[in-house]
Amino acid sequence: STASSLRIVYSSGSTWGPTLWTMDLPVMAQVPQKFHIYDAPVAVADTHTGWGVPAPGPVEQGGWRHVWVGQGDQPSNLAKVTVAVTVSALSAGRLQVGPSGSFRPGRVVEYQAGDTRVEVEVPVGPNGRVALGNEGFDAHVKVDLLAWTSAS
């Protein structure tokens, strides 16, 4: 199946064994959505201070942080958020930003030595969090919420 078709497969018996039949049906689904853009960025996590993360300190190479992106004014069924991710590092690297607790893909943020700020739109995990995975050397990360979308 794809985003625009549903593949149905069924079998029928015959003299020479089962025969598989496939059919692709076009589908289109529209889910009403709610969308909100904040007037100013809303801080949700900062590893420098420990705000929004379990403990202060940089995200280690190969390490993860899971950030709750709910601020009390969003619905419980957030679909995706737009966040500004600021990475402070001594050398270049990559940060994976995606839904926490899910196998859905996210986005890759390439960062340079010093401070790098990137805005990304990512799905929210079923636990209401976004995961940050560091593929570079230790780096501090700050996350600001800019907007959200939900299925109403």
Higher pLDDT, 73 or 84: 84
Which pLDDT belongs to residue 71? 66
> Which of 86-90, 140-144, 146-150 bottoms out in mean pLDDT, i.e. has the lowest?
146-150
Region label for 29, one of left (φ > 0), alpha (ψ between -120 and 50) or beta (otherwise): beta
Which pLDDT belongs to residue 4? 72
CA angle 101, 107, 110 (to 5 degrees): 125
User: Residue 65 — very low, low, confident or very high, per pLDDT cuts 50/70/90?
Assistant: very high
Dist CA 144 CA 125 (whole Å): 17
Choose the most confident range, by mean pLDDT, from 75-89, 90-104, 111-125.
Answer: 111-125
Q: Is the pLDDT of residue 31 over 80?
A: no
Which pLDDT belongs to residue 54? 80
Residues with Cβ within 8 Å of 83's Cβ and at least 6 positions away in sequence, in order, are: 44, 69, 97, 119, 120, 122, 130, 143, 144, 145, 146
User: Residue 32 — very low, low, confident or very high, per pLDDT cuts 50/70/90?
Assistant: low
Question: Do the beta carbons of residue 142 and residue 46 sit within 8 Å?
Answer: yes
| pTM to 2 decimal places | 0.76
Higher pLDDT, 72 or 10: 10
